[in-house]
């Protein structure tokens, strides 16, 4: 019996007359990296909102064993009036963590995400990729047990996106936080996750499940292997069929 | 080193001389000598307005009074307008109840109100300040409100996730987010405040004489030189105030706000 951090049992979600999710069953093991792919508007983001407690479910049951949740949105949601350092400290500040502890942790995390040279910059001066790094760092300071990613790299160019994938992979390797990662990109999903769930168009249902066999830590090279391409093709076909 | 400064200032200077040139050519080219009082030449406007001690003193005193009334009125409008906007951002029902009144200050024909304000509050500085508040509060309310409501849903969700209180949400998210627009509102309102104090002056026609009353007196006496000098002072005040708030905005939020950088 594996250690489940969060379980969706027959969960449905309606917004008024619109069915967003229908009978969704997901369970995420502690330390697992689970990716959710599906067409736009299929309710993937709703799953994250439900997992975080931002949205209520309409029926079914939800079991969560942690309240230490990190949430990373598609836009970096940095506060433009705060410097990078101040932004990274922000959530810890909200949680009223001791100032000295925040400071030390922030220093470590800044180093980890490679923003040492930009700590006193304002977001206006950062590139899209650096903003996302800062956004990630902000959540990392709180050492979340469950990380929810809502297409965090969706707005970035492909090259930056690829780089950040590799960086996130390294972060995951060192911290092993449990992750729910929503994305449109099959390649991104396969590279990062140990399991991929494919969603249909609205109402969102799970129509495919793939285990990703590559061992962690994964080198960026695996994305160019034939095995990777083959699996990517399989997932892509299911995705196309149901969207 | 001096070259870029020179290069930057040449076009505005050219336009300035062009305008002065037109002014002279109208005075001396189109107007018969008996009708030149309609548009006296620039040098006599400047002479009458600023070098005749009696006029100069009158105009400077008027300028001081107008500035004072505008400043007090604008400060009140700012505190009041900001508070109203903050209140409105806290609940939909408050917004629904207060918004019509905000629009009222914008749409009311202020001239229609001036006599009644005079009856109620007398014809001195208090009445003028009230006119200024009414005329200048709307841009502050509306800009502040837009700013306060401008933070993205994701940012709000982030604060919700970390159980931020209403106070924290207001002080750490909504108010800082609104600042660039608060300054935009202030800058617009500052100009209106000056107009308000001149209009009030002009129509009360009693009490201590600000620029507005001087304009009235000069025009009734056909003193075009002084009239234009006083008008010029009013414009100068407007420009100075606009420049001041532009500077303040850039100084305070220019380093992070896209709207105020550059």
| pLDDT confidence of residue B109 | 87
pLDDT tens, A180-217? Answer: 999 999 999 999 999 999 998 888 889 999 999 998 88
Question: Residue A203, preceding bond cis, omega within 30 degrees?
Answer: yes
Set of chain B residues whose Cβ sits within 8 Å of the Cβ of A79: 155, 173, 176-177
- Helices within chain B (DSSP H only): 2-25, 42-46, 53-90, 92-107, 110-121, 125-148, 153-161, 166-168, 175-204, 211-220, 224-253
> To the nearest whole angstrom, how far is the Cα of A104 from the nearest Cα of chain B?
21
Say which DSSP state A194 is in: S
Residues of A in contact with B255 (CB under 8 A): 122
Three-class SS of residue B259?
coil
A232 sits in which H/E element = helix A226-242
Residue B257 to residue A80, Cβ atoms within 8 A: yes
Strand bridging mode A206-211 / A59-64: unpaired
Same domain, A48 and A86: no
Calpha distance A57→A50 (Å, rounded): 7
For A5-25, give one letter per residue: b (16+ CB within 10 A) or e: bbebeebbbeeeeebbbbebe
Complete edge-to-edge strand list for the sheet that includes strand A69-72 = A69-72, A146-150, A178-183, A33-37, A195-199, A206-211
Q: Do A81 and B179 touch (CB under 8 A)?
A: yes
pLDDT of residue B57: 93
pLDDT at B108: 86
Residue of chain B whose alpha carbon sits nearest to that of A86: B172
Beta strands (DSSP E) in A2-127 are 4-15, 18-29, 33-37, 59-64, 69-72
Task: Measure CA B193 to chain center.
Answer: 4
Q: Is residue B201 part of a domain?
A: yes
Closest CA to B105 of B145, B138, B70: B138
Binned at pLDDT 50, 70 and 90, residue B201 comes out as: confident
Decide if A73 and B154 are in contact by the 8 Å CB cutoff.
yes
Residues A63, A157 within the same domain: yes
The three-state secondary structure class of A149 is strand
**CA closest to A126 among chain B residues:** B256
pLDDT band at A1 (very low <50, low <70, confident <90, very high): very low
Question: Between chains, do A124 and B161 touch, taking CB under 8 Å as contact?
Answer: no
- Give chain B's mean pLDDT: 92
Within a domain: residue B2?
no
Q: Among residues A116, A143, A170, which one ends one of the domains?
A: A143
Question: Closest to B256 (Cβ–Cβ): which among A71, A91, A122?
Answer: A122
B33 domain-assigned: no
In a domain, B16, yes or no: no
Residues A44 and A88 in one domain: no
pLDDT, tens digit, 9 for 90 and up, residues A162-175: 999 999 999 999 88
Q: Is residue B38 part of a domain?
A: no
How do beta strands A206-211 and A69-72 pair?
unpaired
pLDDT tens digits for range A6-57: 999 989 998 888 888 888 999 999 999 999 999 887 888 999 999 999 999 9
Q: Among A106, A126, A143, which residue terminates a domain? A: A143
| Angle ∠(B48,B51,B55) on CA atoms, nearest 5 | 60
Using a pLDDT cut of 90, give the percent of chain B over it: 77
State the pLDDT at residue B202. 85
Interface test with B, best of A69, A84, A124 (most B CBs within 10 A): A124
* Nearest neighbour of B164 by CB, restricted to A74, A80, A94: A94
Do A121 and A152 belong together in one domain? no
Domain identity same for A151 and A106: no
Let me know if residue B236 belongs to a domain: yes
- Indicate the residue of B152, B157, B168 with minimum beta-carbon distance to A94: B168
The answer on A234 and A212 residing in a single domain is: yes
Residues of A with CB under 8 A from a CB of B: 49, 52-54, 69, 71, 73-75, 77, 79-81, 90-91, 94-95, 122-124
Interface test with A, best of B147, B155, B157, B158 (most A CBs within 10 A): B158
When divided into structural domains, chain A yields a total of: 2
**A54 and A164 both lie in a single domain:** yes
- Element of type H or E holding B40: none
Residue-wise DSSP of B78-126: HHHHHHHHHHHHH-HHHHHHHHHHHHHHHHS-HHHHHHHHHHHH-SSHH
Whether residue A180 is found in the same domain as residue A217: yes
Note down the domain range covering A184. Answer: 4-68+145-242
A175 with A237, same domain: the answer is yes
Per-residue CA distances from A2 to A27, A107, A215, B224 (Å): 10, 35, 19, 93
Task: Point out the domain boundary residue: A143, A175, A192.
Answer: A143
Domain span at residue B219?
Answer: 53-253
Shortest Cα distance from B156 to chain A (angstroms)?
Answer: 9
**Total residue length of chain B:** 262
Query: Does A22 share its domain with A137?
Result: no
Q: Clarify whether residues A157 and A237 are in a common domain.
A: yes
Q: Domain tally for chain B?
A: 1
Within a domain: residue B42? no
The reply to whether residue A94 touches residue B159, judged by beta carbons under 8 angstroms, is yes
Query: What CATH number does the domain containing A192 carry?
Result: 3.40.50.300
Contacts of B259 (CB under 8 A, 6+ apart): B180, B181, B184
pLDDT of A133-147, one tens digit each?
999 999 999 999 999
Nearest to A71 among B161, B164, B168 (CB): B161
pLDDT in tens, B61-96: 999 999 999 999 999 999 999 999 999 999 999 999
Interface of B with A (CB under 8 A): 152, 154-155, 157-164, 168, 172-173, 176-177, 179, 253, 255-258, 261
User: HSE of A31 in the Cβ direction (CA atoms, 13 Å)?
Assistant: 7
Longest dimension (CA), chain B: 78
- Collapsing DSSP to helix, strand or coil, A173 comes out as helix
**Domain membership flag for residue B108:** yes
Q: Mention every residue, 6+ apart, whose C-beta is less than 8 A from residue B206.
A: B123, B124
Whether the upstream peptide bond of residue A217 has omega within 30° of 0, thus cis, is yes
Q: How far apart are CA A205 and CA A136, in angstroms?
A: 29
Alpha carbon distance B191, B246 (integer Å): 12
Contacts of A114 (CB under 8 A, 6+ apart): A133, A167
What residue of B is the nearest CA neighbor of A93?
A: B162
Residues A133 and A155 in one domain: no
What's the CATH code of the domain at B122?
1.10.3720.10
């Amino acid at each position: 019996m594996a250690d489940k951090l969060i379980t969706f049992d027959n969960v449905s979600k309606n917004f008024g007359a619109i069915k967003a999710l229908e009978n969704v069953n997901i369970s995420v093991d502690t330390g697992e990296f689970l990716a959710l792919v599906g067409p736009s508007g299929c309710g993937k983001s709703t799953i994250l909102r439900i997992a975080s407690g931002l949205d209520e479910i309409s029926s079914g049951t939800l079991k969560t064993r942690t309240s230490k949740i990190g949430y990373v949105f598609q836009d970096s949601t940095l506060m433009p009036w705060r410097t990078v350092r101040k932004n990274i400290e922000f959530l810890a500040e909200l949680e009223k963590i001791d100032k000295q502890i925040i400071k030390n942790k922030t220093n470590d995390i800044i180093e980890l995400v490679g923003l040492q040279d930009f700590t006193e910059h304002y977001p206006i001066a950062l590139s899209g990729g650096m903003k996302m790094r800062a956004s990630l760092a902000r959540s990392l300071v709180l050492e979340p047990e469950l990380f929810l990613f809502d297409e965090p790299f969706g707005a970035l160019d492909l090259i930056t996106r690829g780089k950040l994938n590799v960086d996130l992979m390294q972060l995951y390797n060192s911290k092993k936080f449990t992750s729910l990662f929503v994305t449109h990109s099959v390649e991104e999903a396969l590279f990062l996750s140990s399991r991929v769930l494919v969603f249909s168009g609205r109402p969102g249902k799970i129509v495919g499940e793939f285990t990703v066999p590559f061992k962690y830590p994964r080198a960026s090279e695996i994305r160019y292997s034939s095995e990777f391409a083959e699996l990517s093709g399989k997932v892509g076909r299911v995705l196309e069929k149901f969207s | 080193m001096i070259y870029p400064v020179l290069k930057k200032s040449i076009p505005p200077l050219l336009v300035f001389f062009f305008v002065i040139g037109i002014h002279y050519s109208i005075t001396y080219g189109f107007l018969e000598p008996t009708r030149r009082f309609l548009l006296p030449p620039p040098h006599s406007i400047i002479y009458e307005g600023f070098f005749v001690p009696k006029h100069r003193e009158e105009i400077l005193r008027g300028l001081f009074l107008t500035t004072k009334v505008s400043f007090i009125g604008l400060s009140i409008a700012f505190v009041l307008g900001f508070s109203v906007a903050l209140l409105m951002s806290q609940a939909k029902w408050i917004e629904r109840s207060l918004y019509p009144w905000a629009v009222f200050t914008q749409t009311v024909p202020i001239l229609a109100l001036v006599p009644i304000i005079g009856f109620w509050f007398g014809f001195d500085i208090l009445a003028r300040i009230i006119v200024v508040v009414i005329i200048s509060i709307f841009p502050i309310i509306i800009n502040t409100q837009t700013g306060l409501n401008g933070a993205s849903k994701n940012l709000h969700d982030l604060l919700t996730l970390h159980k931020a209180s209403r106070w924290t949400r207001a002080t750490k998210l909504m108010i800082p987010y609104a600042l660039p627009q608060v300054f935009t509102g202030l800058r617009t309102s500052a100009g209106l405040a000056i107009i308000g104090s001149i209009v009030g002056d002009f129509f009360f026609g009693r009490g201590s004489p600000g620029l507005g009353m001087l304009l009235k007196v000069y025009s009734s006496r056909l003193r075009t030189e002084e009239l234009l000098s006083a008008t010029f002072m009013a414009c100068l005040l407007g420009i100075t105030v606009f420049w001041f708030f532009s500077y303040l905005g850039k100084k305070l939020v220019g380093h992070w706000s896209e709207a105020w950088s550059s």
